[in-house]
Structure 1
Amino acid sequence: MAPPRNERVFESNASIVLVGCRGAGKRTLGFMGALHLRRRLVTEDHYFEKLTGLTRGQYLSRHGRDHFARQNMDVFKRMLDANRTGCIIECGMSSLSGEAQDALREYSTTHPVVYIHREKEQISRLMDAADAQQLLEADDKHRSCSNFEYYNLYDSSTPAPPSRSTSGTSTPIHGRQPGSKLLCVQEDFAKFLDIITGRGATKAWLESPFSVAAIPPEFRSYSYAVRLRLSYLVDMDLEWEDFEARGDCIELIIDHWPEDLLNVIARQVALIRRKLRLPIIFHVEENPRGERRRPPDEKNATDAELLELGLRLGVDYISIDLQRDETLVSRVLQHRGRSKAIGNYWHMGLGELAWQDERHIENYKRAQRVGCDVVRMVRFCANDSPAEYLDEFKQRLQQAVPDPKPPLVAYDFSVLGVRTPIQTRILGPVKHPDMENERDHLATVSTYRNSFQLLFRQFLLDPLQYYVTGSNVSYSLSPAMHSAAYDYAYMPHTFQAVPCSTLDSLNQICSSDSFGGACLTAPFKVAIMPHLKVKSHHATAIGAVNVLLPLRGRTSAILDHANSRNTAGPAREFFGDNTDWSSILTCLRRAISPRNHVQPSKTTALVIGAGGMARAAIYALYQLGCRHIFIYNRTVGNAEGVARHFNEWAAAAGSSSQASAPAAAAANGGSPKMNGTSSPLLSPSLSSSREMCRVLPSLSHPWPAACQLPTMVISCVPATSVDGNPPADFVMPLDWLRSPTGGVVVELAYEPLVTPLVAQMRAVRDSMSPSWVVVDGLEVVAEMAIEAFELMTGRMAPKRLMKEVCRKTWEGQQQGRRSLS
């Protein structure tokens, strides 16, 4: 069996079409998708008006229903044909007609056509019951004319009002900020688009190869798959937050056939993506326990439909049993798109093939031949298969099969569960420790933390020493957060704060064979840049590093270095990355209200300071889409240097993307506007007459009349001195704070937590504008620690735990100081 042609991989710039009924959220998602992919948003309503000069209602009243229907369908087809590349196309109600669906079906042979749907209850809220029922029945037809689908999960948690922390600043409740309601939807849909276009992992790898998202689980040194059955999820007894940092991916096992099965599965996939942010393995169980035995033809037809659903949902991995009907296997591989295929051989009964049997080699070769990305072989044993048998099989496999070999997942299990230690290095099956054992016999005795802890006990991984270092780190909260995360994951690492102010003393720390990594503060962030040969894309762009990692790979390949984390030994070189910017970006996204969503042509921001953190703040604003950034710093020359760095960088980055702008403009008739708003094509290029970063010379300087007042303010001024001079006692001129829609102020300092700026913003919020949101330094520093933990260890961070420890540790420090005074 030769590998079938993959029919669901399209040109990278192929336009993406969104279809679905009214109320599904197509317009909002289309706008988000256009921003994320830097494409044009074409809407059916606007396109009709552009071609005919009339709105739909005007055309209908002027020409009558029959003529309108013919014209409407002609415009629909012309819209698809004229916008084949570089666009997100949002279809209106025309897609419910049979003729339009025929056109979409043909279009889907060369383009992604995404069916957008959501909970029926949410659709019904928008109209009366009879209309909703009729519309939903018609909406189901969209599955037949599309090749992908996205479940637009409703965010039931409304933004919480700010609570008063011990500092008096606005603190998000459970990580939520006012105005963040659409953040989850935006992140979910961006992830979905990255999967179906194939840009996600590649983009993450090029930007920072040490990030958790950059290395797929099958290529990590060790990885674990949390097995979750549909029969459990529909009536689960744990909270989603309980599954945080319990593995590297989720294997969703379809073992249950409830009513409205397709929509139930689509919703569970959406929940996993939103709540856990992990890759998904989609597996349809052939003969699940407790379900009736189905005739072969019925079983193949049903399972084919379910596997097709997984592919339509854009799961990261599709799991297919290669012992199944060959027609079924071929169909799945033919439609897999960007999803990776895991080819399975399950040997579930007594007397199955022993590992010494050469047929295992032939099975592996077949999986390789048909194009499987991963091969999984699982064998039931009853004291008839010592662990050495599987090791010998793996050695024979290395010699008998030519490269490139798909990664192998192979292990034994018995009635007691998976053999421990888990025999496979990658995608080892695990469960949550509090889940009932009878839920899944393959993971009965295995949990991620116990399995990972065993690697240290077997000396496959080593205890390492991690640091936060700089001239003033005595009150750093990082040691408490990292240590709590190590304890949670059963890692025997240590983390300590070490004051250090020279590169020579920093080199002494890094030269130890047990050095695992360091978080850098002033004065190292910029000073260390010339000494690093390997840096992330982000660190290079910013011109500053705040995380330093040793490179201990046996080869020069960066993947080898990344997979050498948690191991000791001499370091050849060091890798520098920057997580300051992404932490600031995360906090901004949570706090920005919908009224202040970033518009590249209008939105204005202010950065206070000109050090390493200010560079990270500017880069975060750039990644958010802001193209009007002002810098104020006590020393104007330093601010001018930072502005020059980013203006030159942005101009260079924009030159490579300018060529695509004319084509994208032509796709919408050459108009730079769409529905009265600026185009969402976010080219980083800047006009020769306008620089992205400009310097405000003094606090008495009036805000530039040509620009909007700032809706984002980021204070990067240290609250304590780092050079012997007193810290800056900064407050904002009130005239700079008169944005009619308020905004967000991010204060990076947290010692003390109530800085002069935070105190001022509390007063402004109470007296001038309640729409301002203040993000205090504890929230930012917690995000920094979370990202640093993941970079340093290569493991998912227990985010909720680290945030709780951050605030509790700070509160403990304050109580200690008060007792001393």
Structure 2
Amino acid sequence: MSALVVPNLNHERSSSRRSSPNPTSPRVGHKRQRNGEAVEVTANSGMQTPITAEPGSAQRPRFTADASIVLVGIRGSGKRSLGFIAAAALGRRFVTEDHYFQNATGFSRQDYLRIHGSEEFHKQDVEISRSMLEENRSGCVIDCGLGSLTRALQDYLKTYCQTNQVIYVQRDMASVTKLLRLSERSAQMLEAGDTSHRKCSNFEFFNLEDVTTNSLESDDDRGSPTYSFKLRDAQIDFSNFVQRLTAQEEASNQDKPSAFSRTMPIEEKLFTHALFVHLSTYRHGRIDFSALQGGGDVVEVRIDEWQEGSPRLISQLVAEIRRYLRVPIICSATSINSHFHVNTYFAALRHGLRLVPDSMVVDLALEKNWLAEFVERRCCTQIVGAIRSPRADLLLAASDQVIVQVEKALNLGIKLVRLSAPAVTRSDSDHFEQFLRGLRHRYSSRVHFSAYLEDRLGRTTQVFNHILTPVTHKALRVDTSSTMDLVPQITAYEAIQALFSSFSLDPLHFYVFGANVSSSLSPTMHNAAYKAIGLWHDYTPINVDGWEEIQSRARMIDFGGASIAQPYKVRIVDQLTSLSEHAQAIGAINTLIPLRREHGQMNHNPNQALYRNRAGFVFGFHGDNSDWISIQKMLSKNLSPRNVIHNKSTALIVGAGGMARAAVYALLQMGCRAIFVYNRTVANARILSEYFSRWAAAQSSSSSAQVRIIKGTNEPWPAGFAQPTTIISCVTHERLPGEEHVSDFTVPEQWLGSETGGTAVEQAYYINTPFTEQIKQLRATTGKPWVVVDGLEVLHEQAAAQFEIMTGKNAPRMVMWNALQDAVTASGGKV
């Protein structure tokens, strides 16, 4: 048999799948200029391939933790609005070129241009922009204005990229044209200069239209306290982007990886799926993102073509996935073994890195110094090494070369390797599994393998591959005649069904346990989610009288997990074998997960996550808490930049039970240092206050925080503290035995004096409560921008997070939300 085929990086290979000829394509070998960059047209694809600098020649940028972020882009792209959002999210100073120019010259830009003329204005503009950037190299977010279109400042910004993150902000040109009221010619000129920003930046963000507004650049919007509420989607998108870019997402400690963490590394989960979204499919408008939720554990953006406008299209595709699916993103490009020239391959992946994906797949057949470029420039992106052969038999015959490439990956710090080849015969699957067992034995836990055979004959290996099996979705209408790339053969739903049918996964029973949960809405959401993604589970509400009754069901071999409702969130904590770090800090749980025994041995928690969706003997229980996650998510989504939580923010918590504990913890994690608790039973409020004050004092990140109590509703708001901009009502909606219904709280008027409004969160999931009605009335009468988050929104977020903890799968959030709304409608709004 012949050896593994390693691509010749100096020549383009013919593809086994050819695209239809393009009568408008330039002749092969012809070179011309595009945006000042030479391009070459390759033979068999008709695509334009940038002639780039030799791979590996780029200097590695080095960013300090507080390096200033610079935004560049054309007028109307939304830089100023996004800059305001980023500054609030990162707790940094926001510097605008307009303001800096006026301080430096004493004139506005418009007045200076009118008085001194165009030539002098542009000269001053460049010099002042340079001064602004030099004087604010750290601790800032900087809006770089029109000067970024000049060659001189762009040359300066290229050097600036070595020490700072320079983000090129794009926006749909039709929206920019409409916003700025441009003529067709003016719009074309502005667009022509826009792409020059790619050369003087090192990161890229596509600013999607926000569904809550038609304007991102209105001065009225930026000056109004209601500004942020018109930009909720953009606020979430860009806050997440800059936090990830500056590594604050990891440093914030909001969800540390643990045995059942939602953010545990993908290679440590069992049977995960990568939903392939081809660039060519997106270009043809064949994607309904709303239908793709739950279609995979990650989305893999597959760059299977490269032509005029592809970089912008890739940026927009990634932006839409982040907004509508909110799952990890992998970026990959068509293999060099196929129709991509090596320069095209590098151009595609370099562009992918600019978008800061979670992972990027890189061909291990590349020279080591070229691979090192991606490892060095990856920011916070994980590199996945790929080994792909044209045929399974060639791969199996070249084990020595496979090992060489795996060793290359290890030397570069790459710990996840994708190994694949098209199957030729059905027997290839058996030989491939044997080959794979040898590799796994050789490397043990040093390397994780995502390994499978492609095409229809390889479907068995795809089903049983543990990590990132490529899948498609019935809503993706992939035109196989237009793509020369791998098209996955199965959907995630089909793979999961096959795993249950083969007894690799087991149908399990889930419950909600509480004193009065007969009318709980949780079963509606969880059962809809199971059905949507193919899990053979069921979820049932059970009223219980105590821990013993919970145990009687939870010890069953087919117990999957349970939601814990009042009054057991705090009561059963001492009965559990282990707790997540968050549940331990909160002192309350709402999620119960079985710990299983394998071969008579009690597994340590790091292995327990692999037993989700599998039956087995239960030796103990793990407690987690998703209540705090839902509160944190709701606040992050609804707090405006003006009311963003910082060390001088104040918050009010109403209640002192398990939900109140989760609320206090969420606020402490978000950086709030002054939290006040009001509860009708003062003694319970004092217990909560003292507990979290001690806990905060022991944490280096929140040692200055204090949790105080307010004894009565007739008291004034405490002197020396700002009025609260966050109010969370944790008064239960559940009628517990021997208690009257108590969700009738309203906030004293003297505690509602925030001039910038705030966010009011209701935990009781009635459609309208006295508290939510009060805040809506306050908003109507005063005009202050209060946002009301009702209990159904909180319940939905809590259930989605809980689903992910219990099953290890991404929650199909829209499916769960629709099921919740249907249940509320069916009840006539009486939930």
TM-score scaled to structure 2, two decimals?
A: 0.80
What are the within-5 Å matches in structure 2 for residues 261-410 of structure 1? 261-286=310-335, 299-323=341-365, 329=371, 331-348=373-390, 352-354=394-396, 358-383=400-425, 385-399=427-441, 401-402=442-443, 405-410=446-451
> 1:793 is matched with which residue?
807
SS of residue matched to 1:193: helix
CA distance in 2, matches of 1:357, 1:718: 62
Deviations 1:621-645 (A, max 9, x none): 4455555543322112222332333
> 2:677 is matched with which residue?
631
CA distance in 2, matches of 1:126, 1:213: 43
Return closer, same or farther for 1:511/1:387 CA change in 2, 3 Å cut-off. Answer: same
1:484 aligns with 2:528: yes
| 235-244 vs 67-76, greater mean Cα deviation | 67-76
**2:500 is matched with which residue: 423, 432, 456?**
456
| 245-254 vs 384-393, greater mean Cα deviation | 384-393
> 1:606 is matched with which residue?
652
CA drift of 1:274 comes to 1.2
Return closer, same or farther for 1:283/1:90 CA change in 2, 3 Å cut-off. Answer: same
Alignment length (residue pairs): 759
Q: Is the 8 A contact 2:724 2:752 kept in 1?
A: yes
> 1:575 is matched with which residue?
622
Letter in 1 for 2:312: N
CA distance in 2, matches of 1:54, 1:553: 74
Return closer, same or farther for 1:438/1:416 CA change in 2, 3 Å cut-off. Answer: farther
CA distance in 2, matches of 1:771, 1:82: 36
> 2:292 is matched with which residue?
243
> 1:166 is matched with which residue?
none
> 2:665 is matched with which residue?
619
Return closer, same or farther for 1:719/1:110 CA change in 2, 3 Å cut-off. Answer: closer
SS of residue matched to 1:563: helix
CA drift of 1:421 comes to 5.4
CA distance in 1, matches of 2:269, 2:211: 35
What are the within-5 Å matches in structure 2 for residues 654-733 of structure 1? 656=700, 684=702, 686=704, 692-704=706-718, 709-722=723-736, 724-728=738-742, 729-733=744-748
Q: Is the 8 A contact 1:346 1:377 kept in 2?
A: yes
Return closer, same or farther for 1:470/1:149 CA change in 2, 3 Å cut-off. Answer: same
CA drift of 1:271 comes to 1.0
**1:749 is matched with which residue: 753, 756, 764?**
764
**1:260 is matched with which residue: 305, 309, 319?**
309
CA distance in 2, matches of 1:126, 1:288: 46
Q: Is the 8 A contact 2:392 2:422 kept in 1?
A: yes
SS of residue matched to 1:422: helix
Letter in 2 for 1:231: S
> 2:206 is matched with which residue?
151
> 1:663 is matched with which residue?
none
| 88-97 vs 224-233, greater mean Cα deviation | 88-97
Return closer, same or farther for 1:231/1:461 CA change in 2, 3 Å cut-off. Answer: same
Letter in 2 for 1:247: G
SS of residue matched to 1:185: helix
| 569-578 vs 598-607, greater mean Cα deviation | 598-607
Q: Is the 8 A contact 1:553 1:563 kept in 2?
A: no
Deviations 1:688-724 (A, max 9, x none): xxx7544332223344565555454322112344362
What are the within-5 Å matches in structure 2 for residues 83-122 of structure 1? 83-122=136-175
> 2:468 is matched with which residue?
427
CA distance in 2, matches of 1:195, 1:766: 37
CA drift of 1:368 comes to 3.7
CA distance in 1, matches of 2:384, 2:637: 36
Deviations 1:206-242 (A, max 9, x none): 6353566512323311111111111111223442110
Letter in 2 for 1:587: M
CA distance in 2, matches of 1:222, 1:199: 29
| 641-650 vs 515-524, greater mean Cα deviation | 641-650
Q: Is the 8 A contact 1:712 1:743 kept in 2?
A: yes
> 1:524 is matched with which residue?
568
Q: Is the 8 A contact 1:8 1:337 kept in 2?
A: no
Q: Is the 8 A contact 2:824 2:830 kept in 1?
A: no
CA drift of 1:532 comes to 4.6
Return closer, same or farther for 1:384/1:718 CA change in 2, 3 Å cut-off. Answer: closer
Q: Is the 8 A contact 2:336 2:342 kept in 1?
A: no
Return closer, same or farther for 1:9/1:499 CA change in 2, 3 Å cut-off. Answer: farther
Return closer, same or farther for 1:703/1:570 CA change in 2, 3 Å cut-off. Answer: same
Q: Is the 8 A contact 1:204 1:211 kept in 2?
A: no
Q: Is the 8 A contact 2:452 2:461 kept in 1?
A: no
CA distance in 2, matches of 1:714, 1:701: 18
Return closer, same or farther for 1:190/1:288 CA change in 2, 3 Å cut-off. Answer: farther
CA distance in 1, matches of 2:82, 2:206: 11
> 1:665 is matched with which residue?
none
Return closer, same or farther for 1:181/1:624 CA change in 2, 3 Å cut-off. Answer: farther
1:584 aligns with 2:598: no
> 2:688 is matched with which residue?
642
Deviations 1:335-367 (A, max 9, x none): 334322233333335964445754444443344
> 1:775 is matched with which residue?
789
Q: Is the 8 A contact 2:500 2:506 kept in 1?
A: yes
| 310-319 vs 184-193, greater mean Cα deviation | 184-193
1:469 aligns with 2:483: no
Deviations 1:402-443 (A, max 9, x none): 566432222223466744653422111111024446537855
**1:806 is matched with which residue: 813, 820, 823?**
820
CA distance in 2, matches of 1:410, 1:377: 5
Letter in 1 for 2:801: E
CA drift of 1:137 comes to 3.4
CA drift of 1:333 comes to 4.5
Q: Is the 8 A contact 1:198 1:338 kept in 2?
A: yes
> 2:35 is matched with which residue?
none
CA distance in 2, matches of 1:553, 1:313: 43
CA drift of 1:447 comes to 0.9
> 1:562 is matched with which residue?
609
Return closer, same or farther for 1:444/1:556 CA change in 2, 3 Å cut-off. Answer: closer
Structure 1 gaps of 5+ residues are 160-176, 658-683
Return closer, same or farther for 1:201/1:647 CA change in 2, 3 Å cut-off. Answer: closer
CA distance in 2, matches of 1:207, 1:327: 34
SS of residue matched to 1:348: coil
The percentage of counterpart residues that share the same residue type is: 37
Deviations 1:576-610 (A, max 9, x none): 2221122233334555567x633647755432212
Letter in 2 for 1:220: K
CA distance in 2, matches of 1:470, 1:642: 22
Return closer, same or farther for 1:730/1:12 CA change in 2, 3 Å cut-off. Answer: closer
1:222 aligns with 2:271: yes
CA distance in 2, matches of 1:356, 1:694: 68
> 1:670 is matched with which residue?
none
> 1:674 is matched with which residue?
none
Q: Is the 8 A contact 2:71 2:83 kept in 1?
A: yes
Letter in 1 for 2:383: A
Q: Is the 8 A contact 1:378 1:412 kept in 2?
A: yes
CA drift of 1:194 comes to 4.4
SS of residue matched to 2:431: helix
